[in-house]
Structure 1
């Protein structure tokens, strides 16, 4: 049995992994797949890949492209979700800010430096025509830290996936002022190069299993009810999310990667554009 460590956010996108683990799909192929939930998100998972705390990360595209560009010894081996991620721009429920224009030059809460909650503030600022070097950040680590920061005023707004944040909006803790979809496929699967070099067949088998799971995921009877219950979502919100979300069973192509890198470079998120071979592993 080969042990493989994998990390991902505790969100509805990753239920296919949990179902495959529960059904012992990996175990039947002699893979002991050990999942770790990482509520801190992409920045933390990049650190885990670098340190060897995890072998694989199901991770946001822009975050891992940025970190590989900065020296993370990992490669993208496949797209996982090819539809955009819809980021909500949120303020405290009692905030005086009503529109995204009100948030210019205001302080944004982020989970950590290099996180996608930070990177997407650059994307949003560019969309609004703001100067990205004037953005101000408050590091809050977790969603509980965000709640505290937006409630006590140490930060003014926060960007996170719309549907996962909506329960806090429904409870009257946050208020959403706008959406900001990613201009690229949102999730990819990244693997440490050491693991790719030493166990390529294991990684290919793992991909075959998860691809079989995601291909049929939307057809699972009552999957909307299961998702709503597990992730504490309203059924109608889950049904809307399922309609918008498309899982992928193929790798990112060179044109898509170059388009992502060009946008990240223009936003000064990366300082160089890497080659396809430096960032992506094809089998």
Structure 2
């Protein structure tokens, strides 16, 4: 086992608080690398060897592997090793404050959707929204969901949350989706306007490790240590809500009131080790139906996971 500290990618939002506690209170020996642009960027980084482990959105990780045809030269770059958040994610649907023509979610059909990256959670959830709203219209000929006509006129790649907010105000995009509490501050200050919301049909955050750290069902010992330290960080988070609120409202972009409200909605697991195969299978099924993945292609659900729960 290498003695080099792991490079861990994470999204610097309120969900990252137990990671901070693991590092501060329980000696997590790792370089924590923030990725404010989200899971899609971390997929690129872990495949490029820039990070070793990452904590991000379930749909992004699974879509990335489900689009990969595994070969000797390409194994997808990462595998699911742990579960970070048990509860679904509430994605707020936002537009610009001066867009009177957009008054409902249904008015977004055929519009320009802003996404952080192709393959990111904001991209994948665009298809899930379209599936739930029956906007996916199969083209003639091949009867697979992957052959559906696009429900949007364009996917505008904008990389960061700040760029997404600007885009819906200057008309570059008509709407975008981002986590509710991260968006709320910008509803309160009038920068953007809320149109609706959508919850993920799956538990929202998973932990992945580079395939270089995986041998069969065994993990590099540093990954095992990380998962144990995260368990302790989560326990500290649950037992010290006031410290969590202070950290979130002082160091991250949230008010104390929003931090307290968020605490009521989130549940972290007692043990991060392992991933429920049924969760992955159901996510793949929904992504197949939504046209993000194609049934029978890509890395299969069971092969995405190193250890099952």
Per-residue deviation, residues 212-257 of structure 1 (Å, max 9, x unmatched)? 2112312215122332222232222212211110112242222221
State the TM-score, normalized to the length of structure 1: 0.92
Listed as ranges, the matches of 1:1-283 within 5 Å are 1-23=3-25, 25-26=27-28, 32-71=29-68, 72-96=76-100, 97-131=102-136, 133-135=150-152, 136-197=154-215, 200-220=220-240, 222=242, 223-248=244-269, 249-250=271-272, 251-272=274-295, 274-282=299-307
How far 1:276 sits from its partner (Å)? 4.4
Judged with a 3 Å threshold, the aligned counterparts in structure 2 of structure 1 residues 53 and 99 are, in CA distance, closer, same or farther, namely same
**Larger proportion of helix:** 1
Per-residue deviation, residues 122-174 of structure 1 (Å, max 9, x unmatched)? 11111111126131211111122112211111111010001011111111101
Aligned residues: 278
Q: Quote the RMSD (CA, aligned, Å).
A: 1.7
The SS at the match of 2:150 is helix
For 2:89 and 2:42, locate their aligned partners in 1 and report how far apart those are by CA, in whole Å. Answer: 18
For 1:124 and 1:180, locate their aligned partners in 2 and report how far apart those are by CA, in whole Å. Answer: 7
Q: Which runs of 5 or more residues in structure 1 are unaligned?
A: 27-31
Q: Which runs of 5 or more residues in structure 2 are unaligned?
A: 69-75, 137-148
How far 1:280 sits from its partner (Å)? 0.5
State the TM-score, normalized to the length of structure 2: 0.85
How far 1:24 sits from its partner (Å)? 5.3
For 1:256 and 1:4, locate their aligned partners in 2 and report how far apart those are by CA, in whole Å. Answer: 27
For 1:178 and 1:19, locate their aligned partners in 2 and report how far apart those are by CA, in whole Å. Answer: 33
How far 1:91 sits from its partner (Å)? 0.5
Q: In the alignment, is the contact (CA less than 8 A) between 1:69 and 1:272 conserved in 2? A: no
For 1:179 and 1:220, locate their aligned partners in 2 and report how far apart those are by CA, in whole Å. Answer: 30
